[in-house]
Each structure stands twice: as structure tokens, then as C-alpha cells.
Amino acid sequence: MASYKKISKDVIKKADVLLEVVDARFPDETRNSEIERDIARAKKPFIIVLNKCDLVSKQTLERTKSRLSKIAPTVFVSSKDRSGTTILRHKILEIANMRGHEILVGSLGYPNTGKSSVINAVTGRHRARTSSISGYTKGVQLVNAGSRIKFIDTPGVIPFGENDEYIQGLLAVKDATHLQDTIGVAMMIIEKICAENKTALESFYHVTIEEQDSYEILELIGRQSNFLKKKAEVDETRAAVKIINDWQKGRLMV
């Protein structure tokens, strides 16, 4: 943890522009207030990158973007589809405002939000190594992006004190088999999706959601998936594991 703090402080000091890469499915939980404060103190320009926007509906994205734009320039990107990368590149050049000079761009954020993938999408090459297992990027890596931009890739870490199971589940820091409260984490995922895009959940699991609470929805999904115990009771844990896997593997839209 201490070494991560040092890395992020060093990167903030060195870089001309910072990217705070957040997961567009849960931007508020993946914004790091400590990092934002350090960037503000260093008076460095920064861009909020809403990555994984292929997993978020257009309406949700627009709502999030207009909210976050009040804090910093916000760009949405899908590293998977390589969309939004030209806009991001232009935004970097614009806010760096360093005519003719090389621009050093630091990529910071929580684990698994796609810091390395964003760099690859912008450069069009697989220079920064990525993985679905979080904590993949270990040290700092410099990535040349051609035409004036150079990136610094960093490892992602959850700030001290925010290390609860729900965040670890949402971020895929721990997979379903390593979470203790699988049902609780799955209920949280259900609540998140229902708040933004209930229809996506209904069509993915072929269920109809009316007034049920998140636990009842979990049972509904279990029943629909035919996850049953003896006496036709729903196996909620099995349903929870499936929902967590679908979320972590990026199969569920928000």
C-alpha cells in the first residue's frame, strides 16, 4: 500500500496530464478521492476516463458524463471496441497545452478498471500488458504512443480503508469462490443494475422484475436458471456465483 502511494505520487509529479481510469459500470466507487486530491494539489490537469462503456447503456453514460464533467473533463472509452480513443487523444493534447513538446500521460486508478487496456487502445498496440486477473500490472511501465504522447502505466490498488468485500467483488479483485458473502455481493450487483438499467437484467436472465427486492430477484434468477436444491428450493449461492461471474467477466450490461 505504501509503495503504491509512492508510485502514484511520483507519477503525478512526473506526468503532464493524468488519466483517472474508472469503470463506467460503477464510476462513483472507482473514483479515488485520494488521487484526485493529490492531482489537485500538484495542479496537474486530469481527465476522467469512463472505460468499459461497451457495458453501459447510452442513457446511463450520458447521465454519468454530465455529472462527472463538473469535476473534470470526462471522456468515455471502450478499450474493447476501441471507441472514444480519438476523442481521448485530442483531449490529452488540448489540456496539456504544450505545443510541440512531448506529453507524458500517467494512467491511474483502481485495479482492473482497464488502465493498461486504455493505453493499448489509444496507441493501437498491445504494449501495456493486461489481464482479467486484477493486480496484473506490477511496476511502472513507460509506453510510447507515437506522435508526441508517452504513457506511464501503473499498478492499481484500492485505497486503504476501502477494502470491503463488495468493492473487491465488483472490481474482480476476488472471484466468487474467494468471497465470503457471495449472496450479499450478488445482491449488490442486482441493485446496481436495477437502479440504472433493469431491462438489461431482465433480458439477460429471462426474468420479469416488478416490485421484488434484490434477494427475491436473486431467487427468481436461480429458479429461471434451474439452480434447485432438494424440495425444489432455489440454490441461492449457486445463483449468486453465476451473477458475480457474469458481472466480473463483463457479460452484464448496466
Ligand X SMILES: Nc1nc2c(ncn2[C@@H]2O[C@H](COP(=O)(O)OP(=O)(O)OP(=O)(O)O)[C@@H](O)[C@H]2O)c(=O)[nH]1
Is residue 114 near ligand X by the rule CB under 6 A? yes
Is residue 30 near ligand X by the rule CB under 6 A? no
Residues between 101 and 120 with contacts to Mg ion, criterion CB under 5 A: 115-116
At closest approach, how far in Å is the CB of 6 from ligand X?
16
Indicate if the alpha-carbon torsion angle 117, 28, 135, 4 is positive or negative.
positive
Is residue 137 near Mg ion by the rule CB under 5 A? yes
**Rounded Cα–Cα distance for residues 153 and 139 (Å):** 8
The residue within the footprint of ligand X, chosen from 66, 69, 97, 131 (CB under 6 A), is: 131
Specify burial of residue 36 (Cβ count, 10 A radius: 0-12, 13-18, 19+). Answer: middle
Task: Give Cα separations from 179 to 76, 172, 176, 228, 237 (angstroms).
Answer: 30, 10, 5, 21, 11
At closest approach, how far in Å is the CB of 15 from ligand X?
16
Joined together, the cell numbers standing for residue 60 give 446511463
At closest approach, how far in Å is the CB of 48 from ligand X?
14
At closest approach, how far in Å is the CB of 133 from Mg ion?
10
The item of ligand X, Mg ion, none sharing an interface with residue 78, based on CB under 5 to 8 Å by kind, is ligand X
Task: For residue 224, give the 3-state DSSP assignment.
Answer: helix
The item of ligand X, Mg ion, none sharing an interface with residue 222, based on CB under 5 to 8 Å by kind, is none
Residues between 137 and 166 with contacts to ligand X, criterion CB under 6 A: 137, 155-156
Is residue 55 near ligand X by the rule CB under 6 A? yes
At closest approach, how far in Å is the CB of 51 from Mg ion?
12
Neighbouring C-alpha atoms within 13 Å toward the C-beta of 163: 5
Cβ 121 vs Cβ 100: under 8 Å = no
- Spatial CA neighbour of 86 closest among 25, 164, 145: 145
Other Cβ atoms closer than 10 A to 150 = 16
At closest approach, how far in Å is the CB of 32 from ligand X?
12
**Rounded Cα–Cα distance for residues 241 and 4 (Å):** 31
Choose the binding region for ligand X from 3-11, 12-20, 124-132, 214-222 (rule: CB under 6 A).
Answer: 124-132
Is residue 250 near ligand X by the rule CB under 6 A? yes
Residues in the site for ligand X, rule: CB under 6 A? 51-52, 54-55, 78-80, 111-117, 130-132, 134-137, 155-156, 250
Residues in the site for Mg ion, rule: CB under 5 A? 115-116, 137
